[in-house]
Every structure is written in C-alpha cells, then in structure tokens.
Amino acid sequence: MSSSVPSSILIVGSGVFGLGTAYALTQREEYKNTKITILDRSGFPAPDAASVDSSRIIRADYADYHYSALCMESMKEWRGEWGQEGRYHEPGLAILLDGKNLDRGGKDAMQKEMRDNLQKQGLKIGKKEEGGQLTVLDDEAAVQAIAPSIPNAAGQSGYVNWTSGWADAEAGMRYLHKKVEATGRVEFRQVAVKTLIFDHANGTVPGVVLESGEKIMADLTVLAAGAWSPKFIDLRGIASASGQVITYIDITQEEEDRLKDNPVLLNYSNGMFIIPPRHKSLKIARHGYGYANFQTIPHPEHPESGETIKVSLPKTKHDDPHMEIPKEGQDVCREFLRECIPEFGNRPWTQTRICWYTDTPTGDWVIDYHPKYKGLFVATGGSGHGYKFVPRIGERIVDVMKGQPRDDLGAALQKKWSWPKQKYHFDHIWTNDWRGGRKGMILEEEQRRGEKTSKL
C-alpha cells in the first residue's frame, strides 16, 4: 500500500486492467497532477490481445458470490452507456450440462451455487414469459425449447439467466480507449518493453527499459501485461499463460436473423460455447485448460545473472501470421458445431485464433503491490473472465492501489486478489474452475501432432 500519491505512473499494457486503471486514475482528484503513461508494443487495439475479439460473454453467473456481485455492478453500466451502439446484447445465457461429464455432481453443485448467488441479488426463478429471470431446465425438452432455432442445444439440463448476454469485445475496448483519450491526461506510447528495472539494493522498481535501450522512470510502475506478464516478473506457481481455441464461420444474413435472438449456449460439461452471430459471423470456442507454450527466458528479475527460467508465454499471429489453432482444437469445435447446428457442420473456418488467458490456480486475479519491490503494482491473472467487468474494474483496482476499499465487497475483493502467500511448485498453472478439454496439452506438441496427421 502506498501512502503518498506518485507524481508519475507507468502502465505496461493497454488491455482491460491497464486501460481500466488509467481511466480510473484520471477520475480521482488526488491524481490530478500525476503523469500517466501507457506503454504497449502494438498500436491500439492490439490484434492479439485477449480483450480484442468479436464477442465476450457478460454474466453474473458465478459460484463465487463476490465476482457475481461485482458483475451485477458492471451490468448496470452495460445496460447503460456501455451497451449503446451495439456494444452489448442481452438474449440470455444458457448454462447447460450433458451426460458426458465425469464430474456431473460437482458441476451440478456449482450451478446451484450460481443460481443461489443470483437469487441473493434479487433475481427470481421462473419462466421468462411469467417474469422469471432464471429459468431452470430439467430435461432435454426444456433445453431445446429455449433455443428453438438451434437443432440441438447440446445439453440435458441446466438453467437460463435471461439477464446475461454478450458484448462486442473490440467495440467495448475502443470505447474505453476513447474515454481515456478524451481525458487528455494519458500519454500513449507504442513501444516494446524489454525489462522492468530492478534495483535490488533498494528493493525497488524505478521504471522500465525498452527494446530500444531507452529507460523510462516513474514513481510507480503498473504491470498489466496480461498473458505476457510472466515475461517481466517471476510468476512461476502464481500465474501462467494458457492458449484457448476460438473458431469462426461465415453465415448468411438470413441465418444470422434466425440465430441472433437465441441465448448464448455454454456447455458447462466440456467448456464449449456458441455466442449469437453478428456481422454474419458465428463464433464457436472452448473455455478449457488450454495449451501451455513453454519458453526458456532469462530470469526477468535477474537478467544479468545468466540464470534462466521456463515459463509459458503467448504465441500468436503477431509472431506467426500463418499460425492456426491445433487440429485438436479444430476437431472439438467442429464436433460441437455439428452437434448443435448440423447444417453448419462442414462449413469451413473463416478464421481461427488462440486467445491467451493469464491463469491462476483458483481463477482469482492478482491485483496487489509486489511484496518484494516498492514501486511495482501488479494487475494480472484474469483467468479468462476479466472482460465482463471492464466498466468498473479500473475503479476497483485503484481502490486496491490506494488501500481504501469503498465497501464490504471491495474489502473482500482486495483480500481475494492479494499476492499469493504460497506458490505452487509446478511449471504451469492449470486452472481448476470448470474447464473443458484435456489437462496438460503443450501447444508445440499439438501443432506437430496435427501436422503429422495431415500428412497421413
């Protein structure tokens, strides 16, 4: 916790946490004289940022009460200024289970906890046409009835939250960027950060070194580099980058009109989901354990020592323009598409990409001052569920920065996001929330396996 207001703040990264923090700082009277600079290697929006995409699910459906409450706070903004001009849509979210899940009992319990948390915040169970906001689905017929234009909604039970929906992710980030620019308070620099500066004698981080060799100094450095964060500080056992598969197909305007009012379909058993189409494009993706991409790099906190560490870092089309998702990922998306909408089953992918999460063991974010280095504040570990909070997350981050939670929710979140007291002793984090796919997949191995299969 810092008792004084820094005269200068560097923010490394212009994603949800970085931009959100910058905007919140500009809205606080105590920071009116603080110089705020955002550094990012890409022009905005970064083409390979996790937060820049066609769509993201916006849901308060959490088994954890505090994230549910935080999203309910954000939903007010999504239904207001943030949702204008097509940035937010609310056709509902169907969270479904099928008989293939080996841990059905555990996920049944998590669904009940989700509904309980939503009811605590005022949502009522019942049919939509009767004013219900949460509709429980007891069998396949009930599941099918909520998405009649999808031949098979791929579930045997679950519920629909009619107050959840989806956002145009890139449009939301552009809107936030516009709001930050409009303050006239933030300098944006398109530069690549090579390392943070570690003054071990004084236990401080006084700034950064750019790839060009230029040094930029600041009273406070905020590391908000998303899945690239393990490149800059030692996060082994705390957070890792995991690659998630996303695919898209083109559809006609008539097909979009037929599908656009369906709820988002999310299969809680395997992590697969389909978001209603927009701009004649349909997205099929998986919230899974993901792929690790191990790299051996100089120890980020001791680059002069010759010591190296192995961490998972993103590999994107920014690095390889011809990169496609592994065959394993294409196959599961294809299977889910064929199951849900058979008529689209063989339609070619128009685009695939790997979206990189910054996963933590529990899925809780890491938003705190670094315990070893003064002048370094870390905001990372989004674990694939940070975007939905973008209208409010900056305010909550700055509350933590100031050590002044505004309410009981803020106090609980500050505790939840505090620097982990114990590291896990393994190379990679495989988040155990409700992921699909196979645990332990390595990106390079899956890419090679796909190449070998294609040659047979």
Q: What is the CATH number of the domain that holds 173?
A: 3.50.50.60
14 within domain boundaries: yes
What's the number of domains the chain is made of? 1
> CA angle, corner 70, sides to 66 and 71, nearest 5?
120
Query: For residue 318, what are the CA distances in angstroms to 168, 238, 298, 326?
Result: 22, 26, 22, 17
Q: Are 16 and 144 in contact (CB under 8 A)?
A: no
Supply the pLDDT for residue 2.
54
Predicted pLDDT of residue 3: 60
Q: Which domain does 386 fall in, by range?
A: 1-55+168-239+361-425
Q: Write down the pLDDT at residue 431.
A: 84
Query: So what's the pLDDT on residue 109?
Result: 84
Give a yes or no: residue 421 inside a domain. yes
- Integer distance in angstroms from the first to the last C-alpha of the chain? 59
CA distances (Å), 234 to each of 65, 66, 272, 293, 361, in order?
A: 30, 28, 32, 16, 16
Amino acid at 167: A
Q: Which amino acid is at 257?
A: D
Count other C-beta atoms under 10 Å from residue 104's C-beta: 16
In a domain, residue 177? The reply is yes
- Residue 15 located in a structural domain: yes
Residue ranges for the chain with pLDDT beneath 70:
1-3, 99-105, 424-427, 452-456
Q: Is residue 393 part of a domain?
A: yes
Tell whether 420 is covered by a domain.
Answer: yes
Question: One-letter amino acid identity for 273?
Answer: F
- Whether 124 is covered by a domain: the verdict is no
Total residue length of the chain: 456
Residue 185 belongs to a domain: yes
Neighbours of 329 (CB within 10 A): 27
CA–CA distances in Å: residue 198 to residues 153, 207, 302, 323, 448: 52, 8, 8, 35, 38
Taking the model in full, what pTM does it have?
0.95
